Structure 1
Amino acid sequence: MSFDTPLYLCGPVREPKQMLADQEYSGHTSIHDDSMAEKLGFRAGPIEGPTHFSQFAPLLAEIWGQTWFERGCFSAHFQNMVVEGEQVRAFIERPAPGATRVRAWAEKADGTPVLEASASLGPDAGESLLDQRMAKLRPPEKLVILSDLHVGMTGARDEKVRMDHDQHMGNLYPFSLAQKLEGITENSPWYSDPATTPWGRAIIPMEMVSVLAEYTSKEAEFPVKQPVIGLFADQEIRMIDGPLFLGEDYLIRREIVALSESKRTESYWVLSSIYDASGKTLKAQMLLNHATLKHSYANYEVEASA
C-alpha cells in the first residue's frame, strides 16, 4: 500500500535558555535585555534566533549523518520572538531518498511560528530560503541609519578568530562554549570530546558558528549610525568544507550583499566568509540580515525629513 501523504520528523519540546541578557554593543545594552526590550515595545528580552538551530541538529543528522556537519546549510527567516520559559519544537520534512533539500520550521507549544527555514546539503541543492528572499528584495527608498553603507562594501580588514572550550566570547556573547553546553537544548559529545568525533577534533555547534562569526564583527567598521538597536531577522549558516573545530584559527572576510527596508527597520545583509588561517580555503559562510529598529535611533525623524 502506498500514500502520497507528506510526513515530518519532529524533535521534543524544549525550553531554550536566554544567555544574552548582559550583551553590550556600542556602549549600551541590547534588545536581549528585558528593560531595553520593554522600552522598544517587546514584552521581554528575546532569545537569540540561532539558539533554535540546535534543535534541528539531531533531525538533520538522522537523515544525512556526518555529511550534514561537513556540507550542511541551514537558512532561516525568524518570524516571532521567543522568551525564556516558552517551549519550542523543531520540525523538518522527511525527504525522499537522495533528496538534498528539505523544508524546516519551528513552533511554540501553542503553534505560534518561530522560524521557517530550508535545510540542504551543498553545493548542488539549489536555492536556499534566503536566496529566494533576497531575490525578492526591493531597493530601499531612503536610508537614514544605513545611509553610509552600500552593496559591495567590504570589512576594513581580515579578522582573526578562534573558539576554545573555556574562552569568554566578549561583550557581544558574554559566555563561553562550556557555559553554552550546560544549557544547550541538544548536546553532543562531538562538541567537547575529540575522541568521539569522526574527525578526531571537537566541533563547534551550528548555533555557536554564529557566535564565532560575529565575535570580531566590530572590526569590519561598517558605518552604521549609533546608538541604535538591532536584531537578527534572517540568518543562514553554510558549511562548505566543514565542520569548524574548537581551538582552530580562522580568518573572516565580510561583504555587504544587500540593503533593504521595512516599515520598522533598515537592514544590511552581511556575508561573512570563514577561511582557514591561511585565508586560502573557504570553510563556511554566514549570511545575516542585521535589522536596525528605526525608532531606536533618536534622530531618525529629523534626518529622514532633512
Structure 2
Amino acid sequence: MSFATPLYLCGPLREPRQMLADQQYSGHTSIHDDSMAEKLGFRAGPIEGPTHFSLFVPLLAEIWGQAWFERGCFSSHFQNMVVEGELVRAFVERPAPGTTRVRAWAEKADGTPVLEASASLGPDDGATLLDERMAKLRAPEKLVILSGLYVGMLGAEDEKVRMDAEQHMGDLYPFSLAQKLEGITENSPWYSDAASTPWGRAVIPLEMVSVLAEYTSKQAAFPVKQPVIGLFADQEIRMIDGPLFVGEDYLIRREIVALSESKRTESYWVRSRIYDASGETLKAEMLLNHATLKHSYADYEAEASA
C-alpha cells in the first residue's frame, strides 16, 4: 500500500544553552547580554541562531549519512529569538529517494517558529533558501551605518584560523569547543574522538563552523560605523570538501555579496570562503546576513537626514 502523504522527521524538545552573555565586540556588550537586549526592546539576551543548527544534524545524518558531513548545506532564515529556558524542536521533511533538497524548520514548544531552512546535498542541489531570499532583495534607499560598504568589497586580508578542542575562541565567542560540547544539544563522539570518525579526525560541529568562520572576522576590516548592535538574520553553511576538522589550519577570504535594508535594520551579507591552509582548496562556505539595528547607532537620525 502506498500513500502520497508527506512525512517528516522530528527531534526531541531540547533546551539550548546561552553561551554568549559575555560576548563583546567594538568595546561593548552584544545583544546576547540581558541588559543590552532589554535596552533594545527585547525581553532577554537571545541564544545565538546557529546554536539551533545542532538540532538538525541527527535528522540530516539519518537521511544522507556520511555524505551530509562532507557535502551538506544548511540554509536558514531566523524568525523568532529563543532565550535560555525555552524548549525547541527541529523538523525535517523526509525526502523521496534521490532528492537532494528538503524543507526544515524549528519551533518552540508552543509552536512559535524559530527558523525556516532548506537542507541540501551538493554539489547539484540547486538554489537554497537564502539564494531565493537574496534574489528578492531590493536595493537599499540610503545606507547610514553601512554607507562605506559596497557589493564586491573583499576582506582586507586572508585570515588564518583553526579550532583546537581547548582553544578559547575570543571576545566574540568566549568559550572553547570543549566547553561547548558540555552543553551542546546533540553531542556525538565524532566531535571529540578522532578514532570514531570515518576520516580519522575529530569533526567541528555544524554550529561551531559559524564560530570558526567569525573568529577572525574583525580582520576583514569592513567599515561598519560604530558603536552599533547587530544580529544574525540569515545564515547558510555549506560543506564543499568537508567536513572541517578540529586542530586543522584553514584560511578564510571574505566578500560582501549583498546589501539590504528594512525599517529597523541595515544589512550586509558576507560570504566567507574557508580554504585549506594553502589557500588552494575550497573546503566550505558560510553566507551570513549581518543585520545592524538602526536605533542602536546614536547618530543614525542626524546622519540619515543630512
| Range of TM-score over shorter length | over 0.9
Q: In 2, Cα distance between the equivalents of 1:250 and 1:142? A: 36
The residue correspondences of 1:109-128 to structure 2 (distance < 5 A) are: 109-128=109-128
Map of 2:166 onto structure 1: 166
Q: What is the RMSD of the two structures over their aligned residues, measured on CA atoms?
A: 0.3
The residue correspondences of 1:220-259 to structure 2 (distance < 5 A) are: 220-259=220-259
2:295 corresponds to 1:283: no
TM-score (norm 1): 1.00
Q: Alignment partner of 2:163: what SS?
A: coil
2:275 corresponds to 1:264: no
**For residues 198-239 of structure 1, what are the alpha-carbon distances to aligned partners after superposition, in whole Å with 9 as ceiling and x for unaligned?**
000000000000000000000000000000000000000000
Q: In 2, Cα distance between the equivalents of 1:221 and 1:135? A: 26
The residue correspondences of 1:1-306 to structure 2 (distance < 5 A) are: 1-306=1-306
Q: CA deviation at 1:107?
A: 0.1
Opposite residue 121 of structure 2, the aligned amino acid is L
Q: Alignment partner of 1:291: what SS?
A: strand
Q: In 1, Cα distance between the equivalents of 2:123 and 2:103? A: 17
Q: In 2, Cα distance between the equivalents of 1:220 and 1:208? A: 20
**For residues 222-279 of structure 1, what are the alpha-carbon distances to aligned partners after superposition, in whole Å with 9 as ceiling and x for unaligned?**
0000000000000000000000000000000000000000000000000000000000
**Which runs of 5 or more residues in structure 2 are unaligned?**
none
Opposite residue 76 of structure 1, the aligned amino acid is S
TM-score (norm 2): 1.00
Q: CA deviation at 1:97?
A: 0.7
Opposite residue 154 of structure 2, the aligned amino acid is T
**Which runs of 5 or more residues in structure 1 are unaligned?**
none
Q: CA deviation at 1:2?
A: 1.6
Q: CA deviation at 1:40?
A: 0.0
Opposite residue 80 of structure 1, the aligned amino acid is N
Q: In 2, Cα distance between the equivalents of 1:89 and 1:224? A: 35
Q: Alignment partner of 2:111: what SS?
A: coil
Q: Alignment partner of 1:91: what SS?
A: strand
Opposite residue 49 of structure 1, the aligned amino acid is G
Q: CA deviation at 1:3?
A: 1.2
